[in-house]
Copies of this chain bind each other. A is one copy, B any other.
Amino acid sequence: MKLVHDPIHGHIELDEFAVRLVDTPEFQRLRRITQLGMAFLAYPSARHTRFEHSLGTFYLAKRIAEHNPEIEEGAVHAALLHDLGHYPFSHTLEALYPRHEENTKWLIRHGEIGDVLREQYSLREFIELFKHPLVSGDIDADRMDYLVRDAYYTGVAYGLVDLDRLVRNLYYDGERLVVEEKGVMAAQSLLLARSMMYPTVYGHHVSRIASAMLVKAVELEGLSLEEIRTMDEVDLVARLRRSEKDEVRELVKAMDDRRLYKRVLYTNRDPGEGAVEELRGELEAEFGHLVLVDYPPKPKFEEKNAFVETENGLRRLSEVSPLVRSLVELKDAHWRWGIYARADVREWVERFLKTFLD
């Protein structure tokens, strides 16, 4: 048993096997993967890492499991490792590489951590546990931890959730985590918190511009999946700084000095993927790395896994809570796509766009 001090949960107790998982190079790498990627350029204090978040998710998963003895221990250890495969700057580089979940599996199969796991689990069965509702539902330990943690480190007020009440009122029916009646308000507040954290923090335009710059730099550098798999943020930034390509060095220097590209366009009117891709081609041909097109996928909010127990049996939370229903409906409200340009070429790009769009 080992205790880790944590500002969100107080003291996190790690069992002996969890300590051994944490003590592998793969897990320690998470200390050097920031939770919110480039968001620190909008919220300077957001320097927390996937390491703390992984411990916090483990803590909450364990507390939920204590109330639900039928949840197997493996699912709690899977909660600890669910973010193992994140690339440097977390989600940012998923625009270029397979989703981090794929890399989690790869690291488990090829790293020291797999050797530890094999002592207690079949790797194949363990990997299946990442689909467990403890960490893959709409109301799960992962989301409960990151919303509260991200709010704490950014200082933004929108992430407060009554975790204690929620943890006490979740039961596992063998398939899902179901919210009991006394936890409905807390569950609703979790989903509301998420919907407010998105535009405020996760989708802050400063963070998006810097992310687009990083993606471009990595793309230009041409890093292979094999290279990126095990890199931490030191490896990646150092590599870009030493690049042989002027454009890459220029981009990373601009990020370091926070001399960010400016918005030429930022809108929720969607011309369709085809039109955007055509435009991207034109802009690249004309301006190269000086202009970036940022066209993110529409947010998914299927809310498929949030079930509550009512006197009339299991119901989707969206049926019970009109507020949550409106969240589903408005899922696109904060979606934006953008075109960003280096400050000194912004006007040219604006003129080019006008011509192009005419």
Tell me if B28 and A256 are in contact (CB < 8 A).
yes
Q: Mark A1-39, 1 if CB is under 8 A from B, else 0.
A: 001111110110000000000011100110110100000
Contact among B155, B185, B326 for A7, CB-based, below 8 A: B155
Cα-based distance from A258 to B31 in the complex (angstroms): 10
* Contact indicator A11/B329 (Cβ below 8 Å): no
**Interchain residue pairs A-B with the least CB separation, the first 3:** A7-B155, A238-B238, A326-B326
Q: Is the interface of A mostly helix, strand, loop or mixed?
A: helix
CB pair B189–A28 under 8 Å, yes or no, is: no
Minimum CB–CB distance for A102 against chain B, Å: 24
| Cβ-based interface call for A264 (8 A) | no
Q: Is the CB of A44 within 8 A of B4?
A: yes
Report B-chain residues with C-beta under 8 Å of the C-beta of A52.
44-45
CA distance A160 to B197 in the complex (A): 14
A98 at the interface (CB under 8 A from B): no
A162 interfacial contact with B, CB 8 Å: yes
A63 within 8 Å of B (CB atoms): no
A44 contact from B11, B51, B189, B195, Cβ within 8 A:
B51
Please determine whether B47 and A47 come into contact, CB atoms closer than 8 angstroms: yes
A47 proximity list for chain B (CB < 8 A): 34, 47-49
- Considering the complex, which residues of chain A in the window 160-189 have a beta carbon less than 8 Å from any beta carbon of chain B? 160-162, 164-165, 168, 185-186, 188-189
Whether, in the assembled complex, A357 has its beta carbon less than 8 Å from a beta carbon of chain B, the answer is: no
Q: Mark A315-350, 1 if CB is under 8 A from B, else 0.
A: 000000011011101100100000000000000000
A156, B18: Cα distance in complex, Å: 23
Contact assessment for B45 and A156 in the assembled complex, using a CB-CB cutoff below 8 Å: no
Roughly how many angstroms separate A126 CA and B188 CA in the complex, as a whole number?
42
Residue from B192, B232, B329 within 8 A of A322 (CB atoms): B329
**CB-based contact A325/B326 at 8 Å:** yes
Q: Does A97 contact B (CB under 8 A)?
A: no
Number of chain A residues close to chain B: CB under 8 A: 68
B-side contacts of A186, CB under 8 Å: 157
Interface assignment of A134: CB less than 8 Å from any CB of chain B: no
Q: Within the complex, what minimum Cβ distance (angstroms) separates A166 from chain B?
A: 10
Question: What mask results when residues 39 to 63 of chain A are scored 1 for a CB within 8 Å of chain B, else 0?
Answer: 0101111011101100100000000
Q: Give CA–CA (A309, B44) in the complex, Å.
A: 28
Cross-chain contact of A40 among B31, B195, B199, B258 (Cβ < 8 A): B31
Cβ-defined contact, B200 with A185, below 8 A: yes
Q: Which of B155, B241, B326 lies in contact with A5, CB distance below 8 A?
A: B155
Contacting pair B233 A11 (CB below 8 A): no
A199 and B241 CA atoms in complex are apart in Å by: 38
A185–B25 alpha-carbon span in the complex (Å): 32
> Can you identify 13 A-B contacts, CB atoms within 8 angstroms?
A5-B44, A6-B155, A7-B154, A7-B155, A24-B257, A28-B257, A47-B47, A47-B48, A157-B162, A158-B185, A233-B234, A235-B241, A238-B238
